[in-house]
Amino acid sequence: MKRISNRLFIAGLIALAVVQVACNRSNNVSGPIRMNQVGFAPLQEMTATIDVDSLNAAPCEVFILNAAGDTVWRGVASATMANPVSGKTCQIVDFSALDSVGEYTLIIPSLSAAAHFIIKDRPYKELTRKALRAFYYQRASMDIVEPYAEGYARKAGHPDDHVLVHASAATDERPEGTVISSPGGWYDAGDYNKYIVNSGYTMGVWLMAYEMNKAYFDTLNLNIPESTTGNPSPVTPHVPDMLAEAMYNIRWMMTMQDLDGGVYHKLTTPNFEKFIRPDQCKQQRYVVLKTTAATLDFAATMALAARVYAPYDPAFCEQAAEAAESAYAWALEHPEVYYDQPAMNEEFKPEITTGAYDDYDVQDEFYWAETELFLLTGEKAFQEAALTHRPKEFTPAVWGNVAELADIELGNAEAILAHLQSYLDEAETVSVYRSPYGNREDDFFWGCNSEGCCWRGIECLYAYRLTGDEKYRINAERCLNYILGQNSTGYCYVTGFGTRPTSNPHHRLSYSHPKGTHPGFLAGGPNRERQDAETDGVKYPKDVTADESYLDYQPSYASNEVTINWNVTLFALSAGIDAMQ
């Protein structure tokens, strides 16, 4: 009897919840239950955030039913709190006591709301794998073929074997218009260009993620062409898939070094391509201006790669070490060549209007390059130079500030721990999402899902490894919960995952493919600056709050693009958590 009434009850509520989602479809936020939509491991903290409509709302009664319709947990949510960013009110329900694998429905009768969730072993294994496989889809200059394509085969685009040296990068040896070959590498993002600064940061996070979880990555099969053919020589061990994928980009980076050691800032078309397939793109591509930032990020990447690939490919490592040293020497001679696209366009033609990745402070890039060169060579001079360049103020690592990567490499943990503690203190006192993320207006900027949230999670994993303090592990998991649905919009921000995934990213590869959106990509996330508002039909709801400034709409490049530097943080975080399970 109890079972039957339970079933009717659940069916009715689920119907209501479906209606509610349908009504909300024109809006950018979901129904009132926000939670990780991919799954929890049995022993993880499990919470959901419930939007309620006033600060006076009494704590909601919550029921959790198993797949058979039996109530397996019942409890009451927390007192109501106000979200410091939006002023909206919500409660938290904590059902961590559940510890059995299964499918469940969380029901809130007073709100006529229901949400499904699962508890399973290794819930982030597939997420990690797909987030890494996203890079295979991003490969330029080669056909993406089955069985590796897993449904997303396509023709190669951008052979990049006939790239012109732009006037801004001309030298006596390579005058303007010189043809160079620079094939391979990953497309940066939703666009088809290839940028060294962003690639360098991505490789840094990538190879450090590998160093932190070697055993895990050594056995992770990505189903890429190198999974079976990647052995560079019969005498060396098989390159793990994760390192083989990275090598596809590192080898491209090597082609971006000029004969004098300097490194081109980017390889690009003058203007962004339309939303067409790679093989339809016919615009001429150029390598433009050698910059100090690109050259130093390159030097750091090559020095790091020379260390990491040592057991696999000695010939490559020797070449990488030389490339790193000559790039560093160039940077010493050219310490202030910044990428100023408007100024460049005044002087040189054709005009270039694609992504800038401009950075007018290269002290942190010197610090990272010198650190990696020191770790590679053991030479004291590099160590001393690194010390002089270490920035006084701590900044979390992003493409334009790589000092923290050097701090991690050198084991300079105090500043990282102090910075983390200030976030965790704030999270405990004010965060309605019980995440060390998303408490202030300025937490919601271009790419914040990665550069704020995932990166914070990675810092927590680093701190957990150092201290063993459980609070760091829990907060790393909370960051991932945020990405997977426990956030202000109720989206799972990873394509192809969860019950309400990001589905229309600003991503030419997805848009132009007959099969549509590729799985495993992280969207940039809510961005209070909304630089894309009113362009190409992008319309944010009136008075939208910072944490809801997100549109799952392809033209919304400022909130819904995908990039390599963001995806690397997604898999580094999910792999770090998966590796502990």
User: Is 53 among the catalytic positions?
Assistant: no
Select the span of 70-78, 245-253, 325-333, 352-360 touching ligand 9MR (CB under 6 A).
352-360
Which of 51, 561 has the CB closer to ligand 9MR? Answer: 561
Q: Other C-beta atoms within 10 Å of 145: how many? A: 12
Which of 5, 531 has the CB closer to ligand 9MR? Answer: 531
Select the span of 15-23, 111-119, 168-176, 351-359 touching ligand 9MR (CB under 6 A).
351-359
Report the candidate in 443, 298, 270, 293 with the shortest Cα–Cα distance to residue 373: 298
Of 274-293, binders to ligand 9MR (CB under 6 A) are none
Which position among 563, 567, 569, 574 is part of the footprint of ligand 9MR (CB under 6 A)? 563
Q: Return the DSSP state at 104.
A: E
User: Is 552 among the catalytic positions?
Assistant: yes
Which of 356, 430 has the CB closer to ligand 9MR? Answer: 356
Q: Is 191 in the site for ligand 9MR (CB under 6 A)?
A: yes
User: Is 547 among the catalytic positions?
Assistant: no
Quote the tokens at residue 332.
Answer: 């010493």
77 neighbors 91 (Cβ within 8 angstroms): yes
Which of 200, 225 has the CB closer to ligand 9MR? Answer: 200
Q: Other C-beta atoms within 10 Å of 220: how many? A: 18
Q: Other C-beta atoms within 10 Å of 409: how many? A: 21
Which of 105, 341 has the CB closer to ligand 9MR? Answer: 341
Cβ at position 353, least distance to ligand 9MR in Å = 11
**Cα torsion 197, 203, 206, 208: sign:** negative
Cβ at position 240, least distance to ligand 9MR in Å = 28
Which position among 183, 184, 185, 355 is part of the footprint of ligand 9MR (CB under 6 A)? 355
Which of 390, 506 has the CB closer to ligand 9MR? Answer: 506
Cβ at position 446, least distance to ligand 9MR in Å = 4
557 neighbors 532 (Cβ within 8 angstroms): yes
Which of 276, 332 has the CB closer to ligand 9MR? Answer: 276
Q: Which one of the listed residues 506, 507, 513, 518 is annotated catalytic?
A: 506
191 neighbors 258 (Cβ within 8 angstroms): no
CA distances from 78 to 57, 88, 315, 461, 535 (A): 11, 15, 60, 27, 41
User: Edge to edge, what strands does the sheet with 194-195 contain?
Assistant: 179-180, 163-165, 286-290, 264-268, 194-195
Place of tokens 């770090």: 576
Cβ at position 472, least distance to ligand 9MR in Å = 27
Q: Which one of the listed residues 160, 273, 552, 578 is annotated catalytic?
A: 552
Q: Return the DSSP state at 451.
A: I
Report the candidate in 525, 563, 523 with the shortest Cα–Cα distance to residue 443: 525
Cβ at position 273, least distance to ligand 9MR in Å = 12
Cβ at position 254, least distance to ligand 9MR in Å = 21
Report the candidate in 567, 485, 565 with the shortest Cα–Cα distance to residue 520: 567
Binding mask 381-420 for ligand 9MR (x = CB under 6 A): ----------------------------------------
14 neighbors 22 (Cβ within 8 angstroms): no
User: Is 561 among the catalytic positions?
Assistant: yes
Which of 31, 355 has the CB closer to ligand 9MR? Answer: 355
Q: Is 356 in the site for ligand 9MR (CB under 6 A)?
A: yes
Q: SS3 of 101, please?
A: coil
Cβ at position 95, least distance to ligand 9MR in Å = 36
Which of 191, 407 has the CB closer to ligand 9MR? Answer: 191
Select the span of 23-31, 185-193, 200-208, 468-476 touching ligand 9MR (CB under 6 A).
185-193
Q: Which one of the listed residues 191, 404, 451, 578 is annotated catalytic?
A: 191
Cβ at position 468, least distance to ligand 9MR in Å = 34
**Distance from C-alpha of 380 to C-alpha of 391, rounded to nearest angstrom:** 19
Report the candidate in 473, 497, 472, 470 with the shortest Cα–Cα distance to residue 483: 497
Select the span of 44-52, 353-361, 404-412, 470-478 touching ligand 9MR (CB under 6 A).
353-361
**Total length of the chain:** 581
**Distance from C-alpha of 564 to C-alpha of 196, rounded to nearest angstrom:** 12
End-to-end CA gap in the chain = 39
Cβ at position 401, least distance to ligand 9MR in Å = 11
Q: Is 561 in the site for ligand 9MR (CB under 6 A)?
A: yes
Binding mask 438-457 for ligand 9MR (x = CB under 6 A): --------xx----------
Q: Which DSSP string do the residues of 10-54 spell out, in sequence order?
A: HHHHHHHHHHHHHHGGGSSS--SEE--SS-B-TTS--EEEEEES-
Please, which residues bridge with residue 61 across strands? 76
Q: SS3 of 95, please?
A: coil
Which position among 189, 207, 209, 375 is part of the footprint of ligand 9MR (CB under 6 A)? 189
CA distances from 165 to 185, 295, 298, 567 (A): 18, 17, 19, 30
Select the span of 3-11, 83-91, 183-191, 343-351 touching ligand 9MR (CB under 6 A).
183-191
- Closest residue to ligand 9MR, Cβ-based? 355
Cβ at position 447, least distance to ligand 9MR in Å = 5
Place of tokens 């889809």: 137
Quote the tokens at residue 484.
Answer: 């997977």
Catalytic residues: 191, 506, 552, 561
Binding site for ligand 9MR (CB under 6 A): 188-189, 191, 355-357, 446-447, 561, 563
